[in-house]
Amino acid sequence: MRIYLIQFFMLGLILSSCKSSIPEGPEICTEVNLLYLSKASGNFDIYKNDLKGQETQLTTNPSWDWAPRWVTASQSLIYNAYENDTFKIQMMELDGKFISTLNEFDDYNVSSDGQWVIAQVKVGDFSRLVITDSFGSDSVAITGADSYNGRAVWSPDASQLIYISDRDGNNEVYHYDRNSALTTRLTENETVEKYLTWAPDNKRIAYTTEYYEEGKPDRNDVFVLDLSTKEVIQITDNPYEDSEIAWSPLGDKIAFHSKRDSIDHIFLMNSDGTGVEQVTTAQTYHGEPAWAYWEVDCEKK
């Protein structure tokens, strides 16, 4: 198993040097932007939306950019890019200013505190998940490499992970506790779990499931699972394909990608599935929502 220590070391330096300062004062508010990919420019690029009517294109790659992910500690976003026949993982500031290229990985995710990385490492036709700190030391594989393991997402407090694995025959959701090193299977059914997100309270997750009902088209719906009680609640129930999801940092909204009226758009809904509203307007493909957020003095908001 090859771990790319130089790349992790570079990432650690970047994260440690880009720490944001949190304004002092009795009242701190959270500002948010919604990130997503869109084909409005003719290519797949990354956009941000302040949810007040202002959408801004962040990348201008003539090929593909996708999978935006926010790193709270460095107040930066990382995303996948395919340019000049080369796959890259890029890092930029929210204003579009380029920071660094982080190559060599199939996919990875950085914890919100910037201290931990979960990397997907391809092994033949399969993949394993490896945790390391952001400087590339203390690496540990948390899965085998005899199945698909991927789409790993850190909990907001960086103590836990959820991910998708087909080690038992079909896609299921698994949970890993970094402190105890214990793995728990969270779903057990014949459907196909696909996308994951954490609630900001660390206590709940949401996931999408692809399933089939006789006489109906294939569909994807969103479910919420309480990690303590293991109670599962279905919060969408419609004939549309509700797929990639992202729980807002305030906990009140879930952003999701859905194909409605034959167009792929980004929508928001309340965390119980009510109050669905469309965010994107261009009649083209949109997908892979993520949240960028930072703290500000409420008086200056």
| pLDDT (tens place) for every residue of the chain, 301 residues total | 444 443 554 566 555 555 444 445 568 888 999 999 999 999 999 999 999 999 999 999 998 999 999 999 999 999 999 988 889 899 999 999 999 887 656 688 999 998 999 999 999 999 999 999 877 677 899 999 999 999 999 999 999 999 999 999 999 999 999 999 999 999 999 899 999 999 999 999 999 999 877 766 678 999 999 999 999 999 999 888 899 999 999 999 999 999 988 899 999 999 999 999 999 999 999 999 999 999 888 876 6
In this prediction the pTM is: 0.90
At 2 the pLDDT is: 43
User: Across the strands, what pairs with 91?
Assistant: 78, 100
At 219 the pLDDT is: 85
At 24 the pLDDT is: 54
Cβ density class 62-97: b for 16+ within 10 Å, e for less = eebbbbbbbbbbbbbbbbbbeeeeeebbbbbebeee
* Beta carbons of 184 and 165 less than 8 angstroms apart: no
- Spatial neighbors of 207 by CB under 8 A, at least 6 apart, are 162, 173, 187, 193, 194, 195, 196, 197, 222, 223, 225, 245
At 17 the pLDDT is: 55
At 124 the pLDDT is: 93
At 1 the pLDDT is: 42
- Residue in the block written with tokens 């950085």: 110
Cα separation, 219 vs 52, in Å, equals 31
